[in-house]
C-alpha cells in the first residue's frame, strides 16, 4: 500500500456558487467543472491548487451527509483525500489490520475516481478518503 499524495481537501459548503465566488474570484483558483454525484448526494467543484485540489461539496438533499455535517459542525473541512496507488489492495490491508472502514469496497467518486472512506474513529477524528485515479499526475 502506497500513499502518493494529498489528492484533495473536501470542504462542506452551504452554497456552492457563493463559495466559488470566494475561491475563484478572491483567491484566483480555477474551478475545473462542477459535477453532481448522486451516489453521494452532493454537487462538487474541484479547484486545482498546486499539486493537489480543493473540493467544494454542497448537499443535493436536505438530509444528505454534507448537510448533516454542516448542522453539527458548520461549514468547513469535511475530509482529506489521500491518493493511493491501488485502492483495492489498500482496503484489504487496512481491513486486515483491523481499521474500521466506512466503505469496504471502492465506489464511484467525482471525476471517475474510485474512492472509499475510512471511519473517523479509526483515524483520530479525521474523515479520510482514499482515492485512486487512472491518471497518476
Ligand atoms: Zn473528496
Q: Could you read off the pLDDT of 58-99 as tens digits, one per residue? A: 999 999 999 999 999 999 999 999 999 999 999 999 999 999
Q: Please state, in angstroms and rounded to a whole number, the distance separating the CA atoms of residues 17 and 76.
A: 15
Q: What is the pTM of this model?
A: 0.92
Hey, what domains does the chain have and what are their CATH numbers? 3-132 (3.10.180.10)
Distance 80 CA to ligand 1 centre (A): 7
Distance 120 CA to ligand 1 centre (A): 14
Q: Which of 81, 73, 26, 74 is nearest to 55 (CA)?
A: 81
Residue with grid cell 485502492, as numbered in its chain: 87
Distance 26 CA to ligand 1 centre (A): 23
Amino acid at each position: 500500500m502506497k500513499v502518493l499524495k494529498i489528492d484533495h481537501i473536501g470542504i462542506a459548503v452551504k452554497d456552492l456558487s457563493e463559495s466559488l465566488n470566494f475561491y475563484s474570484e478572491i483567491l484566483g483558483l480555477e474551478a475545473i467543472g462542477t459535477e453532481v454525484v448522486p451516489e453521494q448526494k452532493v454537487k462538487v467543484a474541484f479547484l486545482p491548487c498546486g499539486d493537489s485540489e480543493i473540493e467544494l461539496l454542497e448537499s443535493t438533499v436536505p438530509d444528505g451527509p454534507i448537510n448533516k455535517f454542516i448542522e453539527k459542525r458548520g461549514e468547513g473541512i469535511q475530509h482529506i483525500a489521500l491518493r493511493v496507488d491501488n485502492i483495492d489492495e489498500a482496503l484489504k490491508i487496512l481491513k486486515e489490520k483491523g481499521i474500521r472502514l466506512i466503505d469496504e469496497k471502492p465506489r464511484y467518486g467525482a471525476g471517475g475516481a474510485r474512492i472509499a472512506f475510512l471511519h473517523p474513529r479509526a483515524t483520530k477524528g479525521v474523515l479520510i478518503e482514499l482515492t485512486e485515479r487512472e491518471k497518476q499526475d
